[in-house]
Amino acid sequence: MPLPKAITAYTLAEATSVVAQLRQQVRQYAQAYYTKDAPLVEDAVYDDLYQQLQQLEAAFPTLITSDSPTQQVGGTVLAGFSKVTHQEPMLSMGDVFSFGELAQFDERMTKAITRPTEYNVELKIDGLAISLRYQAGKLVLGSTRGDGAVGEDVTANLRTIKSIPQELAEPIDLEVRGECYMPKRSFEALNAERDRNGEAVFANPRNAAAGSLRQLDTATTAKRQLDTFIYTIVDAQRYGISTQADALKQLRQWGFHVNPEAIVARELTQIHAFIEKYQSQRDELPYGIDGVVLKINQLALQAELGNTVKVPRWEIAYKFPPEEAQTILQAIEWTVGRTGVVTPTAVMDPVTLAGTTVARATLHNVDMLREKDVRIGDTVLIHKAGDIIPEVSQVVLSKRPATAEPYLVPTTCPSCGSKLIHLADEVALRCVNPMCPAQVKEGLTHFASRNAMDISGLGPKVIAQLYDRHLIKDVADLYRLTATELAQLDKFKEKSINNLLAAIQRSKQNSADKLLFGLGIRNVGAKAATLLLAHFGSIPALMQADPAEVVAIKTIGQTIGDSLTAYFANDQVQELIRELTAAGVNLNYLGRLTEAQDNFFKNKKVVLTGKLVHYTRSELTQKLSDLGAQVVGSVSAKTDYLIAGADAGSKLTKAQQLQVPVLTEDAAQQYLNEVK
């Protein structure tokens, strides 16, 4: 949004007043974004205000002060972290928002260089800038950018990120820089978990990554599955490197995770094509991007051009415009999760956003609903948080109907009518009635889900019928169902009945970690359940374990330990375990209790793609994990094998480009069968 009037129309007194207001707003938004990792406005709103401030300061240079946001970098060092003084400042980048501004940057570079300009063009990763220092090839320090001169020592947390080498193949002294980011899958899972637990959700993957990297508990950071892309070698010419493109190649050879999507370009037409390609494909990437970065490719020219007080003169970021859609909010629905958290969802007129039709968008919690002042009948802007989750970003107040009334938040549970509570340490409303029908149904659905007991055919609609007809009240009742009872359900004939009974019977043989996860104990996810059962061997042994031994397991911690203690101390839970035992449900861990024997896949990074015949995706993932493999979602230069089923798409193409070995499903099965 431009300034309300032309720059030339401002007097010095007017400009002084507006600059003061803009600085106050920009500082407030910058502190929320960089320091608290909880942005108050969309990136585009911040960018508009920042540009207005830059324009006024450029027109009235006497107003520029050293404490202006335009003269400063990033955030501040948080309490709880040691300070790290950067040997070379970690600067920000200048931004442009149109091809016209990009052409102006290119003109400046051409004039300054007086020769054909060559750029290395890279994706702008939506993450947190980091620095890594190595001595004799070993990682000794990892830090955030901080204010550009001084950052935070987050070495312990960075050591939990698998893509960061702890030791290089060469015993060299080295400093590299790049971006720590949260993959979209991790972002979606983290926000879903925080929503269920009544915690504030992260606005986007960048803030989620920053909040995760700034944890004082390294176990929390490890759990959040962060990743990195490294793109800068400090003093690269010392290693015989003369271009940014060569620097990226060398980083790969040293073992760093480097984004493969980069080109060397001399023509703006090439750069425009690259921008348009990734602006249209950004939703398909497994990580978030918010633009494209141009860097002068020749490192000697970078040094010659130098820096301003805040940004390098030799690089620029082209920022993608925010993708938003406008629609009318018709209703707000409240749903109850299995932990009792009651969540508002906006129901809107359908609208196309990022290639999909959207008619519902999250409002997250009561605090956000009140903060945005959303009302029935409002025209709202929606976007996809992290390019994933449809979310209401703001109300278009100029289009608010005169009849729109402030929305009244419910005080009773929409399922059971119990009084809702708002705990002091949570942002969510919560129903604390353990017999709330919605919570019980959600819990039963979770128990039958693929990652839990994997009871095929037992979805939410079937669960609802069974519960509403008083055929089940808890998970133990599932194992007492008869064909006669199932015949009462809508559209359940002999084949459906036999299939469901067979699936329930099969689930009795699952490894006990599936059962533990399926019980829905607060804070105990699938990975924690596997770690616990791999250690104790059975659910009865876990129930009798010393709490100190539980907490001592790596990555478990006190929060999970307290949840388990409270859960298994409940008399109803103990009775439930007895009923499951009587029904013949396996309570023993069937996975590997010790380190996997040597095999073809041990310690290998594997990606799956295409349609599988012999296994479901989750079955093959589990088999590979049991053999010590790391199954990841995207192909990179560090991928050891791609297992490709039928109709494999972009992952196969990328594997072929990076010369990653590709196995058919049959070939992978042969290697699996070799393991005794």
Within 8 A by CB and 6+ apart from 74, the residues are: 34, 90, 92, 129, 145, 146, 147, 148
Within 10 Å of residue 503's Cβ, how many Cβ atoms?
Answer: 16
Within 10 Å of residue 90's Cβ, how many Cβ atoms?
Answer: 22
Residue with more model confidence, 306 or 220: 306
Task: Give the Cα separation of 122 and 505 in Å (integer).
Answer: 53
Please tell me the predicted confidence (pLDDT) of residue 592.
60
Q: How many CA atoms lie within 13 A of 499 on its CB side?
A: 8
Please tell me the predicted confidence (pLDDT) of residue 522.
83
φ, ψ of residue 361 in degrees (nearest 5): -145, 145
| Single-letter code of the amino acid located at 634 | S
Please tell me the predicted confidence (pLDDT) of residue 35.
52
Task: Give the Cα separation of 156 and 215 in Å (integer).
Answer: 10
Residue with more model confidence, 594 or 273: 273
Burial readout 15-53 (b: 16 or more C-beta within 10 A, e: otherwise): beebbeebbebbeebbebbbbebebebbbbbbbbbbbbb
Q: What is the mean pLDDT of residues 27-50?
A: 64
Query: What pairs with residue 95 in β-bridges?
Result: 317
Q: Is 600 exposed, middle or buried (0-12, 13-18, 19+ CB in 10 A)?
A: middle
Find the angle CA(234)-CA(240)-CA(241) to the nearest 5 degrees. Answer: 60
In terms of DSSP bridges, do strands 630-632 and 605-609 run parallel, antiparallel, or are they unpaired? parallel
The pLDDT confidence band at residue 42, using thresholds 50, 70 and 90, is low
Which residue out of 5, 36, 111, 124 is catalytically annotated?
124
Task: Give the Cα separation of 620 and 631 in Å (integer).
Answer: 9
Task: Give the Cα separation of 511 and 530 in Å (integer).
Answer: 9
Please tell me the predicted confidence (pLDDT) of residue 431.
87
Please tell me the predicted confidence (pLDDT) of residue 76.
47
pLDDT at 287 over 70: yes
Task: Give the Cα separation of 87 and 54 in Å (integer).
Answer: 28
> What tokens appear for 616 in the block?
């479901």
Please tell me the predicted confidence (pLDDT) of residue 43.
61
The pLDDT confidence band at residue 77, using thresholds 50, 70 and 90, is very low
Q: Which residue has the tokens 């070379």?
A: 88
The pLDDT confidence band at residue 41, using thresholds 50, 70 and 90, is low
Query: What pairs with residue 219 in β-bridges?
Result: none
Query: What pairs with residue 385 in β-bridges?
Result: 389
pLDDT at 72 over 70: no
Residue with more model confidence, 409 or 52: 409
Q: Is 311 exposed, middle or buried (0-12, 13-18, 19+ CB in 10 A)?
A: middle
pLDDT at 252 over 60: yes
Q: Is 554 exposed, middle or buried (0-12, 13-18, 19+ CB in 10 A)?
A: exposed
611 carries an active-site annotation: no
φ, ψ of residue 395 in degrees (nearest 5): -95, 140
* Structural domains of the chain, with CATH: 7-71 (1.10.287.610), 83-319 (3.30.470.30), 325-412 (2.40.50.140), 437-582 (1.10.150.20), 605-673 (3.40.50.10190)
Q: 34-43, 203-212, 312-321: lowest mean pLDDT where?
A: 34-43
The pLDDT confidence band at residue 34, using thresholds 50, 70 and 90, is low
Arithmetic mean of pLDDT over the chain: 86
Q: How far is CA 176 from the centre of its chain?
A: 24
Residue with more model confidence, 129 or 25: 129
Residue with more model confidence, 39 or 112: 112
In 363-459, which ranges are continuous DSSP H helix? 366-372, 437-448
DSSP at 35? I
* Angle separating helix axes 99-113 and 268-281, nearest 10 degrees: 140
SS3 212: helix
pLDDT digits (tens, 9 = 90+) for 332-344: 999 998 888 898 9
| Single-letter code of the amino acid located at 19 | V
pLDDT at 559 over 90: no
Task: Give the Cα separation of 111 and 403 in Å (integer).
Answer: 59
Q: Are 406 and 345 in contact (CB under 8 A)?
A: no
pLDDT at 207 over 70: yes
Residue with more model confidence, 395 or 602: 395
SS3 195: helix
Q: Is 364 exposed, middle or buried (0-12, 13-18, 19+ CB in 10 A)?
A: buried
Task: Give the Cα separation of 288 and 655 in Å (integer).
Answer: 21
Please tell me the predicted confidence (pLDDT) of residue 201.
74
pLDDT at 196 over 90: no
Q: Are 215 and 154 in contact (CB under 8 A)?
A: no
Q: What is the number of residues in the chain?
A: 676
Task: Give the Cα separation of 94 and 83 in Å (integer).
Answer: 26
Give strand ranges (E) for 340-388: 341-353, 356-362, 379-385
Q: Which residue has the tokens 């720590």?
A: 180
Please tell me the predicted confidence (pLDDT) of residue 256.
95
